[in-house]
Structure 1
Amino acid sequence: MILRFGYVSTALSLWEATPSRTLTFTNWKKQEEASRKEKLYHITEQNLKNTIRILHYNIAHGIELYRMSSSLVPLATHPEVKWDFVTPFGDLFKEIGNLVQKHHLRVSFHPNQYTLFTSPQEHITTNAIIDMTYHYEMFEAMGLHKNASINIHVGGAYGNKEEAIGRFNENFVKLDENIRKQTTLENDDKTYTAEETLRVCEQHGLAFVFDYHHHWANPGEQTVEELLPRIFATWEGTGKPPKFHLSSPKSEKLIRAHADYVEVEFATAFIKALKAYGKSADIMIEAKAKDKAALKIVEELGKLRGFKRINGGAIELK
């Protein structure tokens, strides 16, 4: 049984390597037309090149799980800016895809909380479809669109969960089928519990990403142990182990905020539940210290009895 660990977006150990440089619409609008294009091109190129740097860093450190930044392309979905970001950077997108495929990395995107399908307002759904399409088009440019995933939350409840889930069911199917196939859903820390999110996944044939910290803050009625068989079942047929999210609360008062690192004591119950279930899994570390937090939790777990570190980002459990 293998547990692989990864992190989100930025490798803090690398100097000046953010893949999320951006350009506001206000600043874009102030520029002359030639300058607008130049700035968009420059920032996008830097973000893609930094993503390549990060992937090489991950490969060198044995980190096979990575969530790419959703901000690789500035203003890609703005209605007044929409621009062809694929053609000028085709080689860089392909280089990213080739690295991922050659080294058997697992990558994903996680659009922001405004990408949702439960809103009673039609324009919110329209914008969600535009945003999901943007992420999918990046994966297409990388040649990863049939393998990588785009993870979202169910969305808001708007005072009535059942009605909101009904709207999700109606609105989600408006999304292109190919994009739906690459979509995963995650439980959240305030509204939809793991069991509620699982039901939506099961209805739409989607894989479920279980967030342990969110479950701890918003537990519902079922334990991790009770949920695991259904969680793993949603991943059958994908060719991939289930993906989980793991972080620690920042403090006793800020229980939903993420700490810099993952406390082993907090994570122990979750890790033990996975170990007892006995099947391999991938765990995305959502801590503020990014790659440093992922490497640290692997190092700490590797010191425990029954846990053997097999590379920078993976543990074998016996």
Structure 2
Amino acid sequence: MRLRFGYVSTALSLWEASPSRTLTFTKWSKMERDQRREKLLHVTRHNLQATIRMLHYNIAHGIELYRMSSSLVPLATHPEVKWDYVTPFQDLFQEIGELVQRYYLRVSFHPNQFTLFTSPEEHVTINAIRDMTYHYDMLEAMGLHKDARINIHVGGAYGNKIEALARFKDNFSKLDKKIRKQTTIENDDKTYTALETLNVCEEQGLPFVFDYHHHWANSLEGSLDVIIPRVFVTWEHTGMPPKFHLSSPKSNKAIRAHADYVDIDFALPFIKALKAYGQSADIMIEAKSKDQAALKLVEELSQIRGFKRISGGAIEI
């Protein structure tokens, strides 16, 4: 079996490579019309070119798993801006997609915590649909909309999980079917446990992204030998190995915050549970040191008997 490891958004080893440069609405609104468009184009071009730099870095280092920044396009979903961010950058979007496909990379998006479908407020659902559509439109421009996934959390409980989960079912159904098909759901660190999130995924026919750190911080309900087989089943129809998230607590007090690197002693029970199950999987490292943390963990795992490093970002067991 093989475990591939990746990281989120920015390779810290590259200079000035953030793909998440922004432009606030306040600043945009104070600009002249021509200046507004020029600034939007400038920031977006930088973010897309930075993403291409990141992909080349990943290819060179044997890292096949990568989460793209959700902030590639500034003000893309702001209702008062509404600008065409695809047409001016078709060449860059296509270049990203071609790199991903040529080198068999696995990429994804993870919208922010405000993209949720459990709210009783209609405008929250409208904003969530708008944000999911933005992410899907970028994947479509890249030619990756049938493969890459958009990962979200279930959302808030609003004092009543039963009612909130019923709203999720209703509100999520309002999202375009083609976008729903590319959606995955992840357990969170405070509200919806791994088993609760699994139930949602199984009901909706969606792949489940299991976050081990969140599971540890949020009740540890359900053992790994029960959860992991169910996770694999949710991915069977995709033809892809399941994706997991891994980080470790920043400190004994800040248990939900992510540390700079992944503590191998914290991670090993999870890694060993995957080993016991015996099937290949992909693991997104969510540590603050990003690419450096992923490469460091792979190196540390390769020192364990039975774990062989086969590339910069992959282990064979």
C-alpha distance in 1 between matches for 2:227 and 2:74: 39
Tell me by how many angstroms 1:219 deviates.
3.1
Do structure 1's residue 61 and structure 2's residue 53 form an aligned pair? no
Tell me by how many angstroms 1:249 deviates.
0.1
- Aligned to 1:235, what secondary structure does the other structure show? helix
Residue 5 of structure 2 contacts residue 65 of structure 2 at CA under 8 Å; is this kept in 1? Answer: yes
Residue 62 of structure 1 contacts residue 313 of structure 1 at CA under 8 Å; is this kept in 2? Answer: yes
Tell me by how many angstroms 1:228 deviates.
1.0
State the partner residue of 2:145. Answer: 145
C-alpha distance in 2 between matches for 1:135 and 1:304: 39
- Aligned to 1:185, what secondary structure does the other structure show? strand
State the partner residue of 2:279. Answer: 279
State the partner residue of 2:223. Answer: 223
Q: Report the AA paired with residue 123 of structure 1.
A: H
- Aligned to 1:198, what secondary structure does the other structure show? helix
- Aligned to 2:237, what secondary structure does the other structure show? coil
Residue 250 of structure 1 contacts residue 258 of structure 1 at CA under 8 Å; is this kept in 2? Answer: yes
Structure 2 residue runs of 5 or longer lacking an equivalent are none
Runs of 4 or more above 4 Å deviation: none
Tell me by how many angstroms 1:220 deviates.
4.7
Residue 65 of structure 1 contacts residue 282 of structure 1 at CA under 8 Å; is this kept in 2? Answer: yes
C-alpha distance in 2 between matches for 1:59 and 1:244: 21
Structure 1 residue runs of 5 or longer lacking an equivalent are none
State the partner residue of 1:94. Answer: 94
Q: Report the AA paired with residue 245 of structure 1.
A: H
Q: Report the AA paired with residue 227 of structure 2.
A: L
Do structure 1's residue 292 and structure 2's residue 288 form an aligned pair? no
**Equivalences, count:** 317
- Aligned to 1:164, what secondary structure does the other structure show? helix
C-alpha distance in 1 between matches for 2:293 and 2:237: 31
Instruction: Map Cα deviations across residues 151-184 of structure 1 (whole Å, 9 max, x no partner).
Output: 0000000000010000000000100000000000
- Aligned to 1:210, what secondary structure does the other structure show? strand
Identity, in percent, stands at: 76
State the partner residue of 1:159. Answer: 159
Instruction: Map Cα deviations across residues 27-65 of structure 1 (whole Å, 9 max, x no partner).
Output: 001100000000000000000000000000000000000
C-alpha distance in 1 between matches for 2:82 and 2:41: 13
TM-score (norm 1): 0.99
Q: Report the AA paired with residue 297 of structure 1.
A: L
- Aligned to 2:76, what secondary structure does the other structure show? coil
Do structure 1's residue 131 and structure 2's residue 125 form an aligned pair? no
Tell me by how many angstroms 1:298 deviates.
0.2
Output the aligned Cα RMSD: 0.5
* Equivalence map 1:1-318=2 (5 Å): 1-317=1-317
C-alpha distance in 1 between matches for 2:18 and 2:305: 37
Instruction: Map Cα deviations across residues 270-304 of structure 1 (whole Å, 9 max, x no partner).
Output: 00000000000000000000000000000000011
C-alpha distance in 2 between matches for 1:111 and 1:117: 13
C-alpha distance in 2 between matches for 1:21 and 1:199: 37
